[in-house]
Amino acid sequence: MRYFILLSLFLQLVFFATGQNSFEYILHDTTDQLGGAMVEDNYGNIFISVINNQYSKLIKLNSLGALVDSITILNSENGICELFHLLKIDENKFMAFGKYNTETSFNLWVVTFDYDLNIVQDIKIPVPDDIFTLYQYAIINFNGNIVVLSTYGKFGDYSRIILHEISPGGSLIRKRDFKGSAIASDIVQLPSSEYRIIVWGYMEKIGVDMYSVDTNFVLLDNYAVPWDLDFHNTIKFVNDTNLLITGKKFFLEGDYDERDLGIVKTDFNNNLLNYGHYGKPDTIDYPAVHSNLDFISEDNIYYYGITNLDLFNPYFSQIPSWFILNKLD
């Protein structure tokens, strides 16, 4: 029996703003499962995406952790369909993003649900190759359209970045396929309307870098992520003039290669204003891979990760590891 476990520590990252109860929920299945993103409606219900190799599933839990409803979507042609990233659109709907592959095509998959888990809209947009749903992000831009940052390619071979702008009604407005070999890490839109995207790999240069992209998806500039932060990044506004950026932080502690949860505060010109790192001595501490930072205010910032990670055998490790949630100001 395989288990997908939602721990109270993990869920508190979403729940602090609404005073939710802490709980643990276990989803049983006979196959491996991967938990994705979460959104919350106005009544405290939580919607969670779950994927494996056979289906895409969304579950709805109430504020006490009881299962209210679920929906399972199958791909009858070859079984490859995943919905991972979730985005609240308005008070009545949310969108789920992923991939839906057929025998002859690869597709960006965007499904709109109401909060009763009815499908409102289902669109599929062809892409050049297989989408890596773990490295896919979406925001609502200042025009009310959806901008989706995706990674596609073949694991172990190559990966590339692609941007799509989609209207709320599902019409494709524009797209841009970027050259190079890189993996997407996050996206935000600045008050000037330009987008900042963080990628790991090579686009204009090698490394973990932040790129400025205009509203037509034209590259404007690129910057190194400050303080040499490595991959597993999240970028968010902390106020009207500053950004918070997270990522892995490597440094030598004597003869030991220390790995911690790193965070920096910058202005919109990428000037470093403050920084910090968090973790236990002599352990490997990693930020969560997908969206590891959120906050209620500048004095209530929450940063999520894993401590004592077994890098050499992360899936079947005999070493205990723990979820960690740091509260920062």
* Cα of 282 vs its chain's centroid, Å: 28
Whole-structure pTM over 0.85, yes or no?
yes
> What is 61-95 written as a DSSP string?
E-TTS-EEEEEEE--TTTS-EEEEEEEE-SSSEEE
- Block mean pLDDT (10 aa), the chain, length 329: 44 44 79 86 93 88 94 89 95 96 95 98 97 96 98 94 96 96 96 96 91 97 93 92 95 74 96 94 87 86 89 83 87
Question: Residue holding tokens 């002599």?
Answer: 282
**Alpha helix (H) residue ranges in 85-232:** none
Whether the CA torsion 18, 24, 28, 33 is positive or negative: it is: positive
Reduced to 3 states (helix: H, G, I; strand: E, B; else coil), residue 247 is strand
- Per-residue pLDDT, 1: 43
Residue 292 makes CB contacts below 8 A (sequence gap 6+) with: 232, 234, 246, 261, 303, 304, 305
- Per-residue pLDDT, 182: 95
- Per-residue pLDDT, 255: 60
> What is 101-129 written as a DSSP string?
--SS-EEEEEEEEETT--EEEEEEEEESS
Both tokens of residue 63? 């504020």
Residue 10 makes CB contacts below 8 A (sequence gap 6+) with: 304, 323, 325
- Per-residue pLDDT, 9: 34
- Per-residue pLDDT, 256: 62
CB 244 within 8 A of CB 263: yes
Residues comprising the chain, all counted: 329
